[in-house]
A = this chain, B = another copy of it.
Amino acid sequence: MEGEAYFVNQSSFQVSTLGDVGSGKISDVERVRAFWRRVEHYDAGSQVRQGERSGPEKQLIIVSGWACELRILPDGRRQIFSFLLPGDAIEARGAGSVGACGVVALTRLEVVNRGAQLTVDAAGREAALQREQRLYDHLMRMGRLSAKERVIHLLLELHERLDRVGLVHGETFKIPLTQEVFADALGLSVVHINRTLKGLRKEGWVCIKAGSVTLRNRPRLAAASCYRSEADDLEFDALPLCAGEDRMGRAIPAPKRNLSA
């Protein structure tokens, strides 16, 4: 049944990806052929290396499967920066100058190659903004949220993104993630992730079984983890960023001494 769900997803991407190629009399069969000619596959665990530092930068769009951006320190510590879901682009980073971050397939991956994408259209800009927004969210998670909050917050983000591409059924969706991957994304140890999940299950926040997750009472989860959906930016933006005197008095005045000894 999993393959079926993925196929539905693929066909929807055919339309959105190729719909603007030729508006003329190209038959649907032609389109499907053209689509599949550009499909590439990556095995789970393989590194997706693109933009071979000199070749034309190809832009890959994930059709099915999950990937992640990550970095590994010399001593083995790992940090996952973001998850890449169906519909997301794998940026052609690394072709430029900065590229100390790799993309690894977390499951078997199906991607379409859009070739060198030189012009940045409105949709591309929007996607880039959201991507950046997610990086900020991730920073907030790791810097200021507790383990329980981090897990919930990430699950809510994944729910929102998967929902947008039709991979959520009700409140339930599938995550092909190991607890170790989860830990590396959230900056926690596997053991502690395990215990945190246990706690969340026991307290009825979520239901996690065999790779699918069901979020119970999403608004409550959002409140408990300070999650701000991408939909309500404006409202959040209106909050006083530089706190006044009422809000815990944590204003940011001009410092009078700096990191003194």
Contacts and interface: CB of A to CB of B under 8 A. Distances in A.
Interface of A: 43-47, 53, 70-79, 81, 93-94, 96-102, 104, 106-108, 120, 125-126, 129-130, 132-133, 135-136, 138-140, 142-144, 174-179, 181-182, 186-187, 197, 201, 208-211, 213, 226, 228, 230, 233-234, 236-237, 239-243, 247-248, 250-255, 257-261
Given A104-B241, A132-B135, A181-B252, 20 more contacts: A44-B255, A45-B253, A47-B241, A53-B234, A72-B239, A72-B241, A72-B250, A73-B226, A74-B226, A75-B226, A81-B136, A98-B233, A100-B233, A102-B237, A120-B120, A138-B139, A143-B187, A177-B259, A182-B259, A209-B260
A116 B73 CA distance: 40
Given A104-B241, A140-B71, A211 B254 contact: no
A136 B100 CA distance: 9
